[in-house]
Each structure stands twice: as C-alpha cells, then as structure tokens.
Amino acid sequence: MTNHRTGTRDEWLEARLELLETGKELTRLNDDLARQRRELPWVRIDKDYVFDSVARGVGSCAPATAREGEGVDPRP
C-alpha cells in the first residue's frame, strides 16, 4: 500500500484546481519576464567575429551569414 495520500475524485480535482491557479500565475509571470526581456535595450556589436563550421568551411558563419536559412525546417 502506498504511503502517499490518496483521495476521492472530488478531493483530487479540488487540489488540482487550486494548484492550477499557481501554475497560471507562473505562466503569466514567465510571459511578463519574456516581454521585459524583449524590451531590454540592445547593444550594437561593431567588432567582427569569425566562426568555423564543418559544412561550408572557414569563415562561412561570420555574422553577416550566420542567420542565413533561419526559419527553414531542414527535415525532408
């Protein structure tokens, strides 16, 4: 027999709905955190950086091209 508290369907539902409020609060807080993150000031990067990649060789992923192909699902 389990040591954990067990309950009826009604007791379980009541506990779940109570916890749901905390979950919703967390979701709203997380959404608000994300919004504040997007509103942070930006810092312009004015130095050049170079990265190596296997596919296209040295320098191919410099800042100007690093985001090339973004949003394209590579899967067939």
Partner 1 sequence: MPWLAAEKEYAFDGPEGRRSLLDLFDGRRQLIVYRAFFEPGVSGWPEHACIGCSMLADQVAHVAHLHARDTTLAFVSRAPQTDIERVKARMGWEMSWYTMTDGFDADFGVDEWHGTNAFIREGDRVFRTYFTDNRGDESWAAPGATST
Q: Does 15 bind partner 1 (CB under 8 A)?
A: yes
Rg (CA), the chain: 24
Length of the chain: 76
**Residue 30 contacts partner 1 per CB under 8 A:** yes
Query: Which tokens go with 75?
Result: 């899967």
Q: How many residues form the binding site for partner 1 (CB under 8 A)?
A: 25
Contact call for residue 20 and partner 1 (CB under 8 A): yes
DSSP label of 62? S
- Minimum CB–partner distance for residue 36 and partner 1 (Å): 11
The residues, ordered by sequence, that sit 6+ positions from 49 with a Cβ below 8 Å of its Cβ are 62, 63
Which residue lies nearer to partner 1 by CB, 33 or 58?
33
Residue 25 binding partner 1, by CB under 8 A: no
